[in-house]
Amino acid sequence: MALSGLDIYKLLPKTNCKECGFPTCLAFAMKLSQKGAELSACPYVSDEAKAALEAASSPPIRLITIGTGENKIVVGNEVVLFRHEKTFYHEPGLVVRVADSWEPEKIAEVVSQVDGYVVERVGMKLTLNGIAVENVSGDAARFVQAVQLVKQKTALPLVLMSANAAAMDAALQIVGPDKPLVYAATPENWQAYADLAKKYACPLAITDSGDLSRLGSLAEAVIKAGVADLVLDPGTRNLADSLASLTQLRRLALKKNLRLLGFPILAFAGGDDSTLEEQSILATELIAKYAGIVVLGRFDPTGIYPLLTFRQNIYTDPQKPIQVSPGMYKFGEPGEQSPLLITTNFSLTYFTVAGEVEGSGVPSWLVIADSEGMSVLTAWAAGKFDAEKIAKSVKSAGMDDKLGHRKLVIPGYVATLSGEVEEELPGWQILVGPREAVDIPSYLKTVWKAA
């Protein structure tokens, strides 16, 4: 938790000696709180104050890296409970579980599909993030074979799941350099697992299917044994209990500054016996409410696409809304006589308009102007959606040979621009569309037809 300038001031010598380069200790404290100065500039600061300030400046939820290279999963460092307060920073890793008890062909098939899964939304490529290999067989040799097979098929990060320390050690001998997540230390086996995590320098998950005090005790033991990079599995598996435990862990880290439990959370969204619907519902909750790693019990493209979309939505920075790429968008199979509409590239504006145009069933062309991510009215007021911009966007969309007409529908909120746009686009007829997107279908079916 960041300290305020006054909190910092209380820790300083309060002698106003000016040796730090600031006129008073208070001014120095204020600058420190804004990260505009370094504490080392004060020659007289006490060790106690140093420790307090260092603790306050380290993140309340530790940043953890699983895997290496460009595919690595990086989670933690979250600072808020609600995304509108700032933003959620690190998207949870979505990991698909395979069992070493499966036939090798089945393991290879699932891993290849997970590895190759990519869908595109608003110009971003959405992918899955890793494979969890579970030692269901209990057999070390079989586990090692499965891990080897997975490693051949993908460069995605791994979660190694085994209750058998010997099996874990054997697997880590192969993939330890790839920094998999070791799952998991329990109150019974933690010493051996802490040793493995240290030996291979891998992050370690800890779990206790009891309460958070016991999880805290386990964290303390493992940290004292020298493991710094932890991931927490509170052991809750159903919707209501997971929501409660994940909310409590987030609050403990952020509001109570409890360093022992200030780590990303791993959670399971269903096992072998869950339906696709159950898995989707639980994973949706876990993405919204604080998971750092979500382990999916099954892979099914139909279920993956909504989850990747939801994760992208929730982790969008509320202060920097997604912008849609400017250009020409088609709805249905528009032809020469199809309507041509224009709006701005604020994502919500685009989605609202696109949804209505799509829903109208009238094949249409839609030009998206670069309004720097502003909605129609805001962009108009800011001069980012004026006659010149509209004309330029239409010209650069290259509609000349695609259209048999020269009619452009502009948003009703900028009706006042229609004359200017006609001047900018000689030979074009400018039609004023509805103010609200919801009226677009009716506009296209009646006014456009008659025009």
Partner 1 sequence: MPVTVELPKEKWNGKVREITLGATPAQGGTRTSTVTVGGETTLPFLHFEGSIPHRPALAVEMQDVPPQDWSTTLLEAWDTAASDPVSWAKKAVELGADALAVKLRGTHPERQNRSAAEAAETVKAILGAVGVPLIVYGPEVAEKDNEVLVAVAEAAAGERLALGNCEDKNYRTIVAGALAHGHLVVAKTPIDVNLAKQLNILISDMGLPLDRVLMDPTTGALGYGIEYTYSVMERLRLAALMGDSMTQQPMICTVGEESWRQKESKVKDGVPSLWGDFAGRGPLWEMATAMALLQSGADILVLRHPKTIKTMRETIDKLMSS
Residue numbers at the binding site for partner 1 (CB under 8 A): 82-84, 117-121, 211-217, 219-220, 238-241, 243-244, 247-248, 251-252, 255-256, 258, 260-261, 276-278, 280-281, 284-285, 288-289, 300-307, 309-310, 313-314, 316, 318, 347-348, 351-352, 354-355, 358-359, 361, 438, 442, 445-446
Q: In what order do the strands lie in the sheet with 158-161?
A: 230-233, 204-207, 181-185, 158-161, 130-134, 93-99, 293-296, 266-269
CB closer to partner 1 out of 42 and 291: 291
CB closer to partner 1 out of 222 and 425: 222
Nearest distance, CB of residue 300 and partner 1, angstroms: 7
Collapsing DSSP to helix, strand or coil, 309 comes out as: helix
> How much of the chain is helix, strand and coil, in % rounded to 5?
45, 15, 35
Q: How far is CA 109 from CA 113, 150, 299, 433, in A?
A: 6, 10, 11, 51
Nearest distance, CB of residue 347 and partner 1, angstroms: 7
Query: In the structure encoding, which two tokens stand for residue 145, read together?
Result: 């074979």
Q: Could you tell me whether strands 327-331 and 364-369 are parallel, antiparallel, or unpaired per DSSP bridges?
A: antiparallel
CB closer to partner 1 out of 43 and 301: 301
Looking at the DSSP assignment, which residues form a beta bridge with residue 361? none
Do 260 and 62 touch, CB atoms closer than 8 A?
Answer: no
Nearest distance, CB of residue 282 and partner 1, angstroms: 9
Nearest distance, CB of residue 436 and partner 1, angstroms: 9
CB closer to partner 1 out of 134 and 285: 285
Q: How far is CA 110 from CA 97, 150, 249, 387, 442, in A?
A: 9, 10, 32, 53, 46
Looking at the DSSP assignment, which residues form a beta bridge with residue 181? 159
CB closer to partner 1 out of 69 and 361: 361
Collapsing DSSP to helix, strand or coil, 268 comes out as: strand
Nearest distance, CB of residue 281 and partner 1, angstroms: 5
Nearest distance, CB of residue 148 and partner 1, angstroms: 27
Nearest distance, CB of residue 331 and partner 1, angstroms: 9
393: exposed, middle or buried (C-beta count within 10 Å: 0-12, 13-18, 19+)? buried
CB closer to partner 1 out of 301 and 427: 301
Q: How far apart are CA 245 and CA 58, in angstroms?
A: 24
CB closer to partner 1 out of 38 and 277: 277
